[in-house]
Amino acid sequence: MSDPLDTAPLTLSARALRKSFAIGANEIRVLREVNVTFPAGEITMIQGASGSGKSTLLHILGGLEQPDSGEVLWSGESIYRWSGDQLAKWRNHTIGFVFQAYHLLPEFSALENVEMPARLSGRGDPAIGRRLLEQVGIGHRTHHRPAELSGGEQQRVAIARALRNNPRLLLADEPTGNLDAATGKEVMDLLLELQSTQKKTLIVVTHDDTIARLGQNKLHLATGEIQR
């Protein structure tokens, strides 16, 4: 494979993705035949009913969950044909994840949480983490642990963490789902500003029509397929 950390413009796409889950004796087909390309440097919103497979699709696109069949292509290369080490390296350097539940480590400070992706790749530098926390508006909370932060502050830490390795892709799964309307708008405005200034590819799963209208591209997932 070519170096996944190459600096040339790269595109993420999915081809014929299928995914099912067994629940008791029943097989639930979540993704049936998903084909989609995400334009580099643009915002794509993915909507769908609860249980439609939006989060599953995002996890597969981000290398967190393998499909039953089909391919996820990064610059034409199938990521699930790479070795486990290659996939982990790509995920760490190329993708920033923002989850609804924040997924911060409770025993670590905001700064330590932000620095975690860099530490995993042996490139830790607290000065960069501090700059990112300043950038997302909570530089004054550097040494606070998650339990000492509001939901909006925790999500801002999560966004700073997602940006730590300067990823090409930002994947956000209901990033405002646990926040009140006003705080959710602040968080979404921050994501959009960062995407605009840094020209990252942003893919957002959301159930909120207001948020979905903010994207350059809007996709709807229903019956396991993308409907435009």
What domains does the chain contain, in order, with CATH numbers? Answer: 12-227 (3.40.50.300)
Mean pLDDT confidence for 22-40: 89
Mean pLDDT confidence for 206-212: 88
Q: How is residue 180 annotated by DSSP?
A: -
The answer to whether the CB of 132 falls within 8 A of the CB of 114 is yes
pLDDT(94) > 80: yes
The answer to whether the CB of 72 falls within 8 A of the CB of 78 is yes
pLDDT(208) > 90: no
Better pLDDT: 227 or 15: 15
Nearest to 174 by CA among 188, 163, 162: 188
* Confidence at residue 7, expressed as pLDDT on a 0 to 100 scale: 45
* Confidence at residue 139, expressed as pLDDT on a 0 to 100 scale: 94
* Confidence at residue 2, expressed as pLDDT on a 0 to 100 scale: 45
Extract the tokens encoding 15: 């081809």
pLDDT in tens, 64-86: 999 999 999 998 899 999 999 99
* Confidence at residue 34, expressed as pLDDT on a 0 to 100 scale: 94
The answer to whether the CB of 136 falls within 8 A of the CB of 190 is yes
Which residues on neighbouring strands pair with residue 45, listed in sequence order?
204, 218
* Confidence at residue 9, expressed as pLDDT on a 0 to 100 scale: 55
Extract the tokens encoding 222: 């229903």
Q: What percentage of the chain exceeds 90 in pLDDT?
A: 70
* Confidence at residue 163, expressed as pLDDT on a 0 to 100 scale: 94
The sign of the CA dihedral 100, 216, 48, 200 is negative
* Confidence at residue 224, expressed as pLDDT on a 0 to 100 scale: 85
pLDDT in tens, 160-198: 999 999 999 999 999 998 889 999 999 999 999 999 999
Mean pLDDT confidence for 88-102: 92
pLDDT in tens, 117-174: 898 877 878 999 999 999 999 999 999 999 999 999 999 999 999 999 999 999 999 9
Mean pLDDT confidence for 200-207: 93
